[in-house]
Amino acid sequence: MLFDKEKGPNKETETFKNLVLVFIVVFWSIGAQAQMKDQSDSLQTGRWELFKYDMGNVFGGIVHSYSRPLHWKGEEWMTLGAVVAGTGLIYLFDEQVSQFAIRQQGGVPDFVNYYGARVGSPTYNYMFTGGVYVTGLLIKDERTRRLGVLLLASASSAGLLQQVVKSMVGRARPEYGNGKDTFDPFNTNRSFHSFPSGHTILAFTNAHAIAKQFKDPWLKTGIYVIGSVPGATRLWEGQHWLTDIALGVAISIFMVESIDGYLDSKYDDKFNGKEKGVSWNIGFGFGQIRISGRF
């Protein structure tokens, strides 16, 4: 139980609040340092003008992400093929993985489940992403503003796509006792909105966009681990199959990379310079399938 009616939030809830506070401090520090390094034209531009420019880029980034498949070439189609093949291979083991994960739920700390459920929800997601953007706007820092634009555009683009796909596919959630092969397209009941995982998409979209701010591999790994928690919680809660989560991660990476490339032409600050792009590798071993991505 997360709340006591008489005493208020318990330690798990306080831990979640502390995590949110840490993120706010980190982003404020990033913005403050960048502002000290670059007192450029944006400092002389009014906030309303900056806001209009940034919101135009949010919309432009969304449109750009949806139009990119029209411009794909060999490498991009190979990446798509790897994602489809990897998802198909995982599909073979969906039921076994789901049963195993659900059995582990009792040993998961409450604050982890609380964090996963809240961070992956649209309400908390836009509170966080909006907070990052507003911080950048208030201090007139281009890097933080750009990060906010990337977060908002990526979450909106990926979020809308997953809602459409969920409705069209109509896959049943594991918790209702249906097998992995149960589909009822365009069923409005949330019980048939399993594929892909919305919580995973929103959380991992944020993680990938934030990780692009740093080059240290250990720091990036930590960010990705935190961003993977909501997807894991949905797995052991029986809300999603492993393929729902895997495709959610792939959609997140695609949207962030696509919109980040678009924003390169709109802002002077480039995240990690030319270190962009995504590559996938699928390997097979005795009794195992290994799918890895380099980004």
Q: Which helix (H) or strand (E) holds 187?
A: none
List pLDDT tens digits, range 250-263: 999 999 999 999 99
Q: Is the pLDDT of residue 26 over 80?
A: no
Average pLDDT, whole number, for the chain? Answer: 82
Q: What is the mean pLDDT of residues 145-164?
A: 95
Q: Is the pLDDT of residue 75 over 60?
A: yes
Rg for the chain, CA atoms, rounded: 20
Q: Is the pLDDT of residue 265 over 80?
A: yes
**pLDDT of amino acid 115:** 87
Burial 203-212 (b: 16+ CB within 10 A, else e): bbbbbbbbbb
Q: Is the pLDDT of residue 20 over 60?
A: no
Q: Is the pLDDT of residue 192 over 90?
A: yes
Percent of the residues in the chain that have a pLDDT greater than 90, as a whole number: 59
Residue 107's pLDDT band (cuts 50, 70, 90):
confident
Interstrand relation of 279-285 and 288-294 (parallel, antiparallel or unpaired): antiparallel
Q: Is the pLDDT of residue 32 over 50?
A: no
Task: Return d(Cα 91, Cα 46) in angstroms, integer.
Answer: 52
Asked whether the beta carbons of 125 and 207 are under 8 A apart, the reply is no
Asked whether the beta carbons of 13 and 3 are under 8 A apart, the reply is yes
Q: How many CB atoms lie within 10 A of CB 67?
A: 11
3-state DSSP helix/strand/coil % of the chain, to nearest 5: 70, 5, 25
**pLDDT of amino acid 77:** 92
